[in-house]
Amino acid sequence: MAQINLDKTDLKILQVLQKNGRLTNVELSERVALSPSPCLRRLKQLEDAGIIRQYAALLSPTSVKLGLQAFIRVSIDKAVEARDDFSAAVQSWPEVLSCFALTGETDYLLHAFFTDMNAFSHFVLDTLLSHPGVQDAKSSFVLKEIKNTTALPLGHLQQD
């Protein structure tokens, strides 16, 4: 991956795309006050550098019948093999959208979606707790979503 220095125009491109990744190059170029060719060239550089890692459609969980959202704190055996095995296994669990290795009392935090409590119970009992190395799991359910964004803050990159 190439390393690039981001200027104000690059940051504007990133901010606009974080709000709407489906813009055409012409629409994007208009919003960032750049002609289409240089805009496309900059966009390609941002992609090649790995700054833009992918484009995705963000689905409404309830619209696809995934109304139960949970955060699951997982404690595992401290052996390196257990961590490696768990990290590999979690990649195959479609219910888990995110998995984070943490400091503190909990080893991992999973963010997962389920159709209902039965699906959650099945996942925890038959998949998660059945995995070798998993010692404990504690769950919290989302009652209300206050903020959910995929846009990263970029203000710290702006040069005065």
Domain holding 82: CATH number? 3.30.70.920
83 CB neighbour count, 10 Å cutoff: 16
Nearest CA to 82 out of 132, 137, 136 is that of 132
Rounded to 5 degrees, what are φ and ψ at 45?
-65, -40
Domain that holds residue 43: 8-56
Per-residue pLDDT of the chain (160 residues; tens, 9 = 90+): 567 889 999 999 999 999 999 999 999 999 999 999 999 999 999 999 999 999 999 999 999 999 999 999 999 998 899 999 999 999 999 999 999 999 999 999 999 999 999 999 999 999 999 999 999 999 999 999 999 999 999 999 987 5
Q: Is residue 157 part of a domain?
A: no
Domain holding 34: CATH number? 1.10.10.10
The SS3 assignment for 115 reads coil
Please answer whether residues 94 and 145 qualify as being in contact, where contact means their C-beta atoms are separated by less than 8 angstroms. Answer: no
CA distance 11 to 27: 16
CA distance 113 to 132: 22
State whether 84 and 135 are in the same domain: yes
Q: Is residue 149 part of a domain?
A: no
State whether 121 and 70 are in the same domain: yes
Taking the alpha carbons at both ends of the chain, their separation in whole angstroms is: 27
Specify the pLDDT at position 4.
83
Order across the sheet with 134-141: list the strands. 96-101, 108-114, 68-76, 134-141
Domain termination site, one of 56, 78, 94: 56
**3-state secondary structure string, 87-130?**
HHHHCCCCCEEEEEECCCCCCEEEEEEECCHHHHHHHHHHHHCC
State whether 66 and 127 are in the same domain: yes
State whether 50 and 67 are in the same domain: no
State whether 50 and 65 are in the same domain: no
80 CB neighbour count, 10 Å cutoff: 8
Specify the pLDDT at position 3.
75
State whether 68 and 22 are in the same domain: no
State whether 68 and 130 are in the same domain: yes
State whether 27 and 70 are in the same domain: no
Q: Specify the number of domains making up the chain.
A: 2
State whether 69 and 51 are in the same domain: no
CA distance 29 to 101: 39
